Every structure is written in C-alpha cells, then in structure tokens.
Structure 1
Amino acid sequence: MNGRYDSAVKNKPAYGIGSVDHALHLATLLLHEGPLRVTDAAARLGVARSTAHRLLAMLVYRDFAEQDEDRRYVAGPVLRGAPAPEPVADLRRIALPHLEALAARTDESVNLMTVVGDRARFVASVESAQILRVGDREGRMLPAHLASGGRAVLASRPESDVIELYSGPDSPVADVAVLLRDLRRVRKQGFAVNDQATETGVTAIGQAVRCPEGMVPAAVSIAMPTVRYRRDRLAAWTRDLATAVARIERDVADGSVLQNNGAL
C-alpha cells in the first residue's frame, strides 16, 4: 500500500567481512541497549570471549566505546553524539523466550520491533529452522507505515497523531487518507499484514504490544517467504501471534521491564 519501499534490501553481503559486521553489531548494541560485559558481547555475537574482547578494544580505540568504573563497556564519544535511542534491553530480555516459543510453534522467523516516529527498528530476531527462511533482521530499520509491526503500532494511535506524523512536505505517504483507512482495518482485525511491501518475496504478520505509559511502542511479527504464506493459515498464525504478545504484555506488566523511575 502507498507504494513499495524503494530502498535497497539490506540482506547480508555474500562476501561480508565478519569482524566488521561483529564490530558494527556491538556498536549498535551499546547505543541501543546500554552497557555490555565481555561475556555478554561474546554471547550476543556467538564468538569466543577473546574475540569479543578484541572487538571491544578496537571500538574503544576508535572512541565508539569506553569502559566505566565497573569495567563494563559503554557507548563512547562517537556514539554519544548520535540522537538518543530508545532503551530496549529489558524489553528484549523479557520478549526473547516468547519469541523463541513462537518461532518453534510456527516454524517461521519472528521479530520484536520498536516504533519511534515513522521508523520501525528490529531489536530481536529468532530465525526459523527451515532452509528457506527469512533471515535475522536485528538492527534493521523500515518505514513504520509499511512494516507489519509498524502499521499495527500506528493503528493503535489516535488518527490525529498519524495525520500529524505523515502530513509534512517530506512525508513518505502519498495519500494519508488511504493510510488511515488501512489502519482502521488493522485496528478492527487486531493485526497487520505486510505482503512484500518492504521486500520482494517476504510476507509478515504483525501485532502491537500494548505498552505501559513511558515505554517505547513495540510490536511482534512473524515473517516468512511469500511462497509459504497461505490465507487459510492466517487465523492460526494470528492466534499464535496473539498468544505470544499477550505473554509479553503480562511479563511487562509485572513491572520487571520498568526502570529509571518508571521509564523503560
């Protein structure tokens, strides 16, 4: 709807440099999720502790990271100059077991994303075990009005907020009235479907996570190769998705995700 996402698809390069990818991933984690110990970094990257230590040392050398008084690695001067990100480490920690269960139940890849402004950012991915699958999207950003989770979050907002967000001269939405009609449909059915709007051959189903006030808006999506998407399975997929979202909401409501005087 409202045209395809025209930016190049950001799949991992066939001949990517692993060390560069790992270093950039660590920089992203420091920016968006906060302090890391060497053991944390090694676990997130799936590398040896010594490798994680060398990568972090290089980030320190280039001012992307530094160590605090507890010997944890934190964002350095270069990253601190970037716009303040939404903190999501606790949300990711709470959601991950439910994402893993959803991926196991559906045998498809699943994602957790946050939505800030008109952008949806993937903060966690659990890949399907199938050979033909949608790969890890962690760290990627997509237009919120096209991504399934982004549209689900937009549908939960007052229409006046959506109009304000997309009515500027540089708006990526050509027809806000069409977007509003789509969001009403999403609101009524409780989920959104992205059928190749952001990537040819990929279809996703997203549902918003109802967040406490002060928490960054979030959503969960199931992503699959379009060749496996079948409308007669949509009801089952959305039931599984709703179950996972409800469990995340339950755990968030317990209060363990809230910190810093009530802010995420």
Structure 2
Amino acid sequence: MTASGPEAWDDEEGGTEPPARRDGARELSGGVKPLLVLGKIRGILDSFTLSRPALTLSEIRAATGYPTSTVQRLVANLVAEEFLDREGDRVRIGVKFAYWAAPATRGLDELEIVKPVLEGLRDATGETVTLFRLEEGFRVCVAMAETRHGLRREMHVGKILPLHAGSAGRVIMAWNPEAAAAALSATLERLTEHTITDPAKLRADVDQTRRDGYAMTSDERDEGATGLAAPVFDSMGDLMGALGISGPSLRVTPEKCRAWIDPLVAAAEQATRLIGGRLPR
C-alpha cells in the first residue's frame, strides 16, 4: 500500500507527525519507528464485537472516525489478505484469523489469559474485580484483582458462596438453567434482611438478568456491599463464569454502578474473545 500527502501514514516512509498511542498499545523498542497503518488496521479490527460481528463500511467509518476513502482502501486490502471476509454488503473478521490465533493460547491457562482483563477493570473502577465459576452447586472465586482501597470486602480465590445471593450468582443462574433449577428448588437461606428467599421473586430476577445481560445487587449477601456482574462464555457458547465488580456500598453507589455497566459488559466480552468463546445462540 502506498500513499502521498496527508494520508502518507500508510506508507512505511511516510508520516511526519508522531502517532497517537491507542489504549492498551505496547511501547515500541527504542529506535523503532512506528508504522501508523498498523494502528489504523487495529482500529478497524477493534470495531467488531461478539454482538456486532459483521459491519458495513459506513458502520466501520462511524466506529473508527476514519475518512471514507481510508476505510474503503484498508478494508479492500484486509479482505484481499484474509484479515476480513465479505458477507454481502458487510465484512467480518476473517476465518483465517482462527488459524493464526490457534497457537496464541495453546498451553496457557484460561485464568492467566483473562487476568489482564480483571486488572484493567480493577484499575478503571478502583474496586475489586472477581471471576466466579459454578462448582457443585455453589459459586467459587477462581480469579481476582483486588482493590487498592484500605476499606474492602473480604474476598479470596477459592471462596465458596451460595448462588442465590449476589450478582455473580444471579448471572450464573441466568445462563445455566440446571444450576438455576437446583438453586430454586432448595431452601433459600436468608443471609441478610435483603436476601431474596421467595423462589418466584428470585426466578423473576434471574429472568431479568438474562434480558439485561448483567446483574446488579446490594446487601443480599453482606449488609453494606454492592456488586454487579456479567457473563463470560466459552467456545461452545456455554457460561464459563461471571465477571464482577464489588465493594462497599458507600463507594459503589447506584450512580457508579450504572456508569460501570458498559465497561463491565465490554470486559466480559473481551474475556470471552480472549479464551476463544462466543455468545450463546
């Protein structure tokens, strides 16, 4: 690819202004000149999500802010090189990427793969971020990035908690019908005065969680504690776990929770993508 004038950024020798660093971009080794076109390509690839796997050129332009001519030229080249595949008037991430990506996670543990996601969400919110999995009818903390605040909820990897109280449990029940049925058929222990012990009410909340795509709860397991959680899926579209943010209610206010919904859901999707997962059908 070659260009001249204001769009010389896509030529290895072009571009006179320093490139803007993308969020999450790694630092180059000393003395290595950045190739700005790679940042543009990453911007296009970052436009695709699990909920929007196929995009038109105008949707890519809206997502990236790139000029129409830039989008057309780069997309055409990405299709030619199998980075993208055409699907009618839309394009999607190329199937060839699965071949290229296969060695990336080979030999790596899923929890190690998603650890940077937990740490990034912790740094963005300032609160403890956890990943819970279903084990023998309970939810178990399998990974966490702990808050740096002195006042925090007690949590540790390996902690076992009931499904019926708390946002992570609600998420697990929403995307695992067998776990939900088992929990709802058992006695729902009252842990605080806000714990839901009516199976019909809990079922309604679980159904609402499924519709919303996340759960938010306060004071159900511990008085003065609030949390929100979203699902992470595996390669079969089954629930891998519940990614959550939690902390004392005096810091984790309703306003903050509402502001954190989108970053939480985006982090859960990022974790899903990193482990090669997909959304359930």
Indicate the TM-score class for this superposition, using the shorter chain for normalisation.
0.5 to 0.7
- The Cα of 1:198 is off from its aligned counterpart by 1.2
Deviations 1:58-100 (A, max 9, x none): xxxxxxxxxxxxxxxxxxxxxxxxxxxxxxx822111111000
Task: Tell me the equivalent position of 1:123.
Answer: 142
Task: Tell me the equivalent position of 1:28.
Answer: none
Deviations 1:99-128 (A, max 9, x none): 000000111111011013531000112111
**C-alpha contact (below 8 Å) 1:133/1:225 kept by paired residues:** yes
Task: Tell me the equivalent position of 1:234.
Answer: 257
Q: What are the within-5 Å matches in structure 2 for residues 149-160 of structure 1?
A: 149-158=168-177
RCO higher in structure (CA 8 A, sep ≥6)? 1
Matched, 1:166 2:166: no
Give the letter aligned to residue 180 of structure 2.
V
- The Cα of 1:229 is off from its aligned counterpart by 2.2
Displacement over 6 Å in runs of 4+: none
Give the letter aligned to residue 123 of structure 1.
V
Task: Tell me the equivalent position of 1:207.
Answer: 230
Residue 161 to residue 109, structure 1, CA distance change in 2 (3 Å): closer
Between the two proteins, what is the percent identity of the paired residues?
27
Residue 134 to residue 187, structure 1, CA distance change in 2 (3 Å): same
Q: How many residues align?
A: 165
Task: Tell me the equivalent position of 1:179.
Answer: 202
Task: Tell me the equivalent position of 1:146.
Answer: 165
Structure 2 unaligned segments of length 5 or more: list them: 1-107, 190-195
Q: Counterpart of 1:151 in 2: which secondary structure?
A: helix
CA distance in 1, matches of 2:272, 2:211: 20
Task: Tell me the equivalent position of 1:197.
Answer: 220
Deviations 1:198-254 (A, max 9, x none): 122221111111223397630111011111122222232111111211110001117
Matched, 1:111 2:134: no
Q: What are the within-5 Å matches in structure 2 for residues 222-261 of structure 1?
A: 222-253=245-276
Q: Counterpart of 2:244 in 1: which secondary structure?
A: strand
Which protein shows a greater Rg? 2
Matched, 1:217 2:240: yes
Q: Counterpart of 1:239 in 2: which secondary structure?
A: helix
Q: Counterpart of 1:253 in 2: which secondary structure?
A: coil
